[in-house]
Structure 1
Amino acid sequence: MIDKPAYSLPVIHDRRLRDPSKLFEIEQLDLEFSNGERRTYERMRSRGLGAVIIVPMLDDHTVLLVREYAAGLHQYEIGLPKGRLEKGESVLEGAERELKEEVGYGARDLMELTRLSLAPGYMTHVTRVVLARDLYPEKLPGDEPEELEVVPWPIDELLTITGRDDCTEGRTIAAMYIARDYLAAEKAR
């Protein structure tokens, strides 16, 4: 276990927004550190309420992935279902909705495992990792431009899937390893 050091957070003297876009804002922070050093940092502030990524377990050994177009890489990627939270939704409600929209299943057992940040040095965005079990078929209309292909994958074969050219998203990879280790520890108890 790693202990948290007793650092005092820098004092924020000023905040300014720059270049707002639909998805995020760039915020400049004028900071003063405990040793008196001053710096201006920039960070991307997310707009919205956060996001979820779901690890849907069809059974004890099979995770359900989806194949969907990734505009950033201009290719189809295999990954976990995910999406932004909507107003008034809890993390688990958002996970349930996204699961039904993207995979065509609901879950009787949803549990938040942890949260992931992509680049905490300059982004405020956090994604909640949710384990979904005891699945049942139920489909909701989603916002994807085309039907997503559901790809069942053995949770014990993560090295194979993460070695592929079409499974590169860091949140998906981290969430699958976290869920696999959680499930193994749960089974060992």
Structure 2
Amino acid sequence: MTRKLPIIHRIVETDAAPYRVEELDLEFSNGERRRFQRMHGRGHGAVIVVPMLDADTVLLVREYAAGVHRHELGLVKGRIDAGESPVEAGDRELKEEAGYGARSLLNLRELTLAPSYMSHSAHVILARDLYEERLPGDEPEPLEVVPWRMDALHELILREDFSEGRSLAALFIVREWLRIHG
């Protein structure tokens, strides 16, 4: 069933760095009126990189996560800078966070974080044919690089220090893509 999008009667913006919050005055197709809020990130988007060391091994990084105040295991991720494509940002972030570049980078798809109230999305970048190269990054301490076998994802997804939804989703997307495309 295809539904008409609600009519936006008014948008009130509030600055809440690093986001812009909008309050929407909406009218739905059945005449109901509601106010919704949504957040827009500042910048040019984000990437989450799945670096494959070989056909069976992904590289994870362990870094401090302020939101949960602990060190988290996850994939390389970061912002897309002005003028960068998602693939270029993925290669740069991989070099900054993990100390590797990639000869093959593929933008598989875009993931949303919480589409009900945020416009934030991240491009899932598959990085293969890795080589060692480090660029200076913005991390306050060196990140630990942890190789993980793809056939042990069932163990990784149950670890308490591996909880970020984008990393979980990206690993399963890449696993299925590799299964189909090699």
Q: TM-score, normalised by structure 2?
A: 0.97
1:150 and 2:150 matched? no
Aligned to 1:8: 4
| DSSP 3-state at the match of 2:117 | coil
The structural deviation recorded for 1:141 is 0.3
Deviation track 1:52-89 (CA, whole Å, cap 9, x = no partner) reads 00000000000000000001111100000000110111
1:55 and 2:50 matched? yes
The structural deviation recorded for 1:48 is 1.1
Aligned to 2:96: 101
Q: Which letter does structure 2 place at the counterpart of 1:76?
A: H
Query: Unaligned stretches of 5+ in structure 1?
Result: none
**Partners in 2 of 1:141 and 1:44 — Cα distance?**
31
From the two aligned structures, give the one with the greater strand fraction.
Answer: 2
**Partners in 2 of 1:172 and 1:131 — Cα distance?**
12
Q: Which letter does structure 2 place at the counterpart of 1:120?
A: P
Query: Unaligned stretches of 5+ in structure 2?
Result: none
Percentage of matched positions with identical amino acids: 57
**Partners in 1 of 2:103 and 2:12 — Cα distance?**
44
Aligned to 1:37: 32
**Partners in 2 of 1:11 and 1:48 — Cα distance?**
27
Q: Which letter does structure 1 place at the counterpart of 2:10?
A: D
The structural deviation recorded for 1:150 is 0.3
Q: TM-score, normalised by structure 1?
A: 0.94
Moved over 3 A (4+): none
